Amino acid sequence: MPNYASVLSAASQLPVGDRLRLIDDLASSVPDDQPPQLSDAWLSEIDRRSGEIDSGAVAAEDWEDIRARLFTKHGVDGAN
């Protein structure tokens, strides 16, 4: 069976589009009950941003509004 280093080396040789597809496929294969471990810096940032929302210092936006804005910005039409 191949080891991590050999898989990484082979994957690194793929064209960028295939590497991105591989990243997505690998991320999709991780069970929901095994989320990635976040660094202390990320956890602190999440706490900071959550605190801003909870205190009312910043307002949250609806996902549908964000999605529509991004689709328009990047010229995506009718994506689901």
Rounded to two decimals, the pTM is 0.50
Letter string b/e over residues 63-76, b meaning 16 or more CB atoms within 10 A of that residue's CB? eeeeeeeeeeeeee
| Residue 63 pLDDT greater than 90, yes or no | yes
d(CA 10, CA 35): 25
Q: Please, what is the average pLDDT of the chain?
A: 92
What pLDDT digit, counting tens, does each position of 45-56 carry?
Answer: 999 999 999 999
